[in-house]
Structure 1
Amino acid sequence: MRKELLTIALLSAMALNQGCSTKKEEAKDEAKKLLSLIVVEPGHFHAALVQKSMYADVDSVVHVYASEGPDVKAYLDKVEKYNSRPEDPTHWKEEVYTGADFLDKMLAEKKGNVVVLAGNNQKKTDYIKKSVDAGLNVLADKPMAIDAAGFDKLKEAFTSAEKNKVLLYDIMTERYEITNALQRELASLPAIFGELQKGTPENPAVVKESVHHYFKYISGEPLVRPTWFFDVNQQGEGMVDVTTHLVDLVQWSAFPDVTLDYGKDIELLGAKRTATQLTPSQFKLVTKSETFPDFLKKDIKDTVLNVYSNGELSYKLKGVHAKVSVLWNFQAPEGTGDTHYSIMKGSKANLIVRQGKDQKYKPVLYIETTDKSKAYEDGVAAAFKAVQDKYPGVELKKIAAGWEITIPVKYDTGHESHFAQVANKYMEYLKAGKLPEWEVPNMIAKYYLTTTALKQAKDKK
């Protein structure tokens, strides 16, 4: 009996020692990881979407610094849901500090090396500048600047980032939507597209339009937006918010990998802004707030909230006429959602993305042409093989106007998955120690255009 007890004790000690060793090894593995996230004042659901996936080179411990309130709670709740989901759960460990001095404490402690910013845009540019000044990399949700003063500070931040050898990058998820990516690929193939046309102010060569909705579902649940989201002084007007994505896509697809100089390559031709109206009941549905807060009183007329979330700008980019516009409605009709329209006009064909009723509200890419010759069709088929090599399974489907691009379901990963794709690309750049040469000047050009357009539109009033 005594011998059996000794054996059991010995086995227990061995198991305990093995368990301790395993935990020590796991801790060592985490310590070896190159990157550690610091999430600052997460007020937008995009902050949580960055953590919908795990990353091989990122420590599972995330350091969160925020003011106490519903915004940080909503972020933590979403991350916890990702951690506890039955399929492919994440395993983030959130170490949270809340207090009025959250930013100063973060900068003093520097417990990680990548700051993630997605929230109230009023102070975001300041947070960006202070983070890169402290030698921290920054991955920021759009927009990184919402007015002319913010643009000037953002330029200073990029200068500081270069000096401190850190990378400042914004989250351009729309580059990873498959029809946008394929439109860019096709525009680079002269046999299919020809040359990008110059267009005119009345008939631009590149047009991108998007319609968004305040009330929507994210990760299967109704999205609750913070009340400040509806204050243009905190969120930014439509001209400088979602239009950031559209301006980025114009640059990225029309002039891929080309470094732009905003002083020479951009000419703003016109800009206008309009408001979306929300009733008190609509505001309550999307914010869960019983009343309009005081900071929105300036935008209320006859009990209705007017949010300047819609914007349109017309401009020339390296001589090419372009137009982008964004419209916000309260809620999409049942069975529909946010929509996107895009056209690039070439000398041989137009590349068009439609997302309406005929497309069942899913984006579909078309090649439309007036050239019905066999020589052109053979040229399209031959050139398209380069696209198929890069995106296996993508096919051409002949239609009266040209071709529809049929895309396998595996590429339709959804908007939420694009945040992980952006993050993975950013981590590649961090490991390389640099961004592509064109990225920083083109980010500067993008924010110059949006903030200048806003100033021009407001000056008209």
Structure 2
Amino acid sequence: MKIFKPILGILLMSSIIGCETKNLENSTPPSESKIKIMALDPGHFHAGLIHKTMYPEIDSTIYVFAPEGPELKDYLNRIAGYNERNENPTAWNINLEIGPDYLDKMIKSKPGNVMMVAGKNDLKIDYITAAIENGINVYADKPLVINSQGFKKLINAFASAKQKNLMLYDIMTERYEISTILQRELSLIPEVFGTLEDGTLENPAITKESVHHFFKYVSGQALIRPDWFFDVEQEGDGIVDVTTHLVDLIQWEVFPEEILDTTQVQMLSAKRWATELDLNQFKEVTGKSEFPDFLQKDLKNDKLQVFSNGEMNYTLKGKHAKISVIWNYQAPEGTGDTHYSMMRGTKADLIIRQGKEENYKPSLYVKLHEAQFESLEKAIQQTLQSKFPGLTITEQSSGEYLINIPESYHVGHEAHFAQVTERFLEYMKAGKMPDWEVPNMIVKYFTTTQALEKAMEK
């Protein structure tokens, strides 16, 4: 590939990342033996996290198409940090095209075979549609859509991807969290769990709650969020954003590898509410000195109202589920994002807690009802040992049993991006996904967008 002298703006970006920048006009078609990633408008830090690890199947050159701005700089800095770290440094090269016509440039030159997108959620479905229509596989951060209008486009995108034999896959990192994996595994052992209760609106069969924070550290650095992250018209309400993971986990745990349908979802109730940010907090997390014009509509008494919080109650195949997501400004010292989950079985409850007593690490507890301890002990020491060696059990003063998980399994949220990427690469190599993946993605986004519709009725 011929190397050209870049323009000044591109040269400055190239010096940030410490690798060469190439002109795409003379790019050669991607080799079929390698996955070649095209990063489109990488506005969210998740876009960089998939590159924290190198993969044999992925070419070391990342083709980046983006508008100039702080989000691009952050993305390039993040990859530079991975390349320059002392332990297991990566070796990514950046091939960069900057300009307002970044999407057209990607479609025209098409130097890669997979578009990776993580950024403004209101634009994402149009990016996806354009990629699929032009024969490009899609690997996208959640959520793919943030409203019912986007959901209709997503249905068409999946249909087009099927016709063209292309992959369209969202990044579901939470399937790789060890406490969730073990919760799922134990729920599939009838001697321990029995079967999932049907539940009620007041006492759901399965509950998932996620607490997040606007100010946080990622890869050891304070996270700077773009100002549009706080605009629900661009980022989406909380009830259609983080809840994507929680809806996915309910489908994945309760109905593993089962093909679901939107007719099996009944949305019972939903609500949304705001987290307030003052100007100083907004400055700290965005680096911006004032609220931009597009957020003026969301100011009340000089405080920004961010509708990042939501709750939904629904049934899936008759099983009652409750999901809630909460965003606070900053976690107390020594804490972080947390996850709570309960599956109520006829013989036992499986509970994930991540509070002070757990040192803010996801921990799995089993509360026995009809099941006997011997059944739980056998499940841990025999059934699960082949998959997860080292598991043990400790009885708690409450009468619950803590599943002791070796530290090596707690790899952390950032490492999950490599795990889900490896799964995507398996699907690419096979040329297909399991039969349940696409139908269940459709059900997932139907559920989240229906929840928003229900919440907006009030």
2:5 corresponding residue in structure 1: none
Structure-2 separation of matches of 1:84 and 1:294: 38
Structure-2 separation of matches of 1:258 and 1:417: 27
Q: After TM superposition, what 4+ stretches of structure 1 lie above 6 angstroms from structure 2? A: none
Query: Where does the alignment leave 5 or more consecutive residues of structure 1 unmatched?
Result: 1-29
Cα offset, 1:369, TM superposition? 1.3
1:399 maps to 2:396: yes
Deviation digits for residues 231-269 of structure 1, max 9, x if unmatched? 000000001000000000111001111110012x11000
Aligned residues: CA RMSD: 1.1
The one-letter code matched in structure 2 to 1:386 is T
> Conserved in 1, the CA contact under 8 Å of 2:346 and 2:370?
no
Structure-1 separation of matches of 2:68 and 2:193: 53
Structure-2 separation of matches of 1:406 and 1:116: 36
The one-letter code matched in structure 2 to 1:125 is I
Cα offset, 1:153, TM superposition? 0.3
Secondary structure of the residue aligned to 1:232 is: coil
1:166 corresponding residue in structure 2: 166
Secondary structure of the residue aligned to 1:416 is: helix
The one-letter code matched in structure 2 to 1:104 is D
2:310 corresponding residue in structure 1: 311
Deviation digits for residues 37-56 of structure 1, max 9, x if unmatched? 00000000000001000001
1:427 corresponding residue in structure 2: 425
1:8 corresponding residue in structure 2: none
Deviation digits for residues 186-238 of structure 1, max 9, x if unmatched? 11110110000000000000000010000000000100000000000000000
The one-letter code matched in structure 2 to 1:203 is N
Secondary structure of the residue aligned to 1:389 is: coil
1:243-392 to 2 correspondences below 5 Å: 243-263=243-263, 265-371=264-370, 376-384=372-380, 385-392=382-389
Cα offset, 1:394, TM superposition? 1.6
Structure-2 separation of matches of 1:203 and 1:149: 32
For the structure 1 residues 131 and 31, does the alpha-carbon distance in structure 2 shift closer, same or farther, using more than 3 Å as the test?
A: closer
> Conserved in 1, the CA contact under 8 Å of 2:346 and 2:369?
no
Cα offset, 1:371, TM superposition? 3.9
The one-letter code matched in structure 1 to 2:449 is T
The one-letter code matched in structure 1 to 2:194 is G
Structure-2 separation of matches of 1:184 and 1:370: 18
Secondary structure of the residue aligned to 1:122 is: helix
Secondary structure of the residue aligned to 1:273 is: strand
Structure-1 separation of matches of 2:440 and 2:383: 27
> Conserved in 2, the CA contact under 8 Å of 1:206 and 1:343?
yes
TM-score (norm 2): 0.92
2:11 corresponding residue in structure 1: none
1:19 corresponding residue in structure 2: none
Cα offset, 1:370, TM superposition? 3.1
Structure-2 separation of matches of 1:47 and 1:317: 32
The one-letter code matched in structure 1 to 2:265 is I
Structure-2 separation of matches of 1:459 and 1:32: 49
Deviation digits for residues 78-99 of structure 1, max 9, x if unmatched? 0001000011000000000011
Cα offset, 1:284, TM superposition? 0.1
Secondary structure of the residue aligned to 2:386 is: helix
Structure-2 separation of matches of 1:61 and 1:268: 44
Bigger shift: residues 394-403 or 301-310? 394-403
**Which structure's residues are more often helix, by fraction?**
1
> Conserved in 2, the CA contact under 8 Å of 1:39 and 1:117?
yes
- Structure with bigger gyration radius: 1
Cα offset, 1:383, TM superposition? 2.5
Deviation digits for residues 95-121 of structure 1, max 9, x if unmatched? 000111100110111100011010011
1:59 corresponding residue in structure 2: 59
The one-letter code matched in structure 2 to 1:396 is I
Cα offset, 1:398, TM superposition? 2.5
Cα offset, 1:34, TM superposition? 2.1
Deviation digits for residues 292-312 of structure 1, max 9, x if unmatched? 000000000111000000000
Secondary structure of the residue aligned to 1:160 is: helix
1:112-261 to 2 correspondences below 5 Å: 112-261=112-261
| Matched pairs, number | 427
The one-letter code matched in structure 2 to 1:425 is R
Structure-1 separation of matches of 2:308 and 2:32: 44
Structure-2 separation of matches of 1:329 and 1:410: 30
Cα offset, 1:132, TM superposition? 1.0
Cα offset, 1:32, TM superposition? 7.1
TM-score (norm 1): 0.91
1:14 corresponding residue in structure 2: none
Structure-1 separation of matches of 2:221 and 2:97: 27
Query: Where does the alignment leave 5 or more consecutive residues of structure 2 unmatched?
Result: 1-29
1:442 maps to 2:440: yes
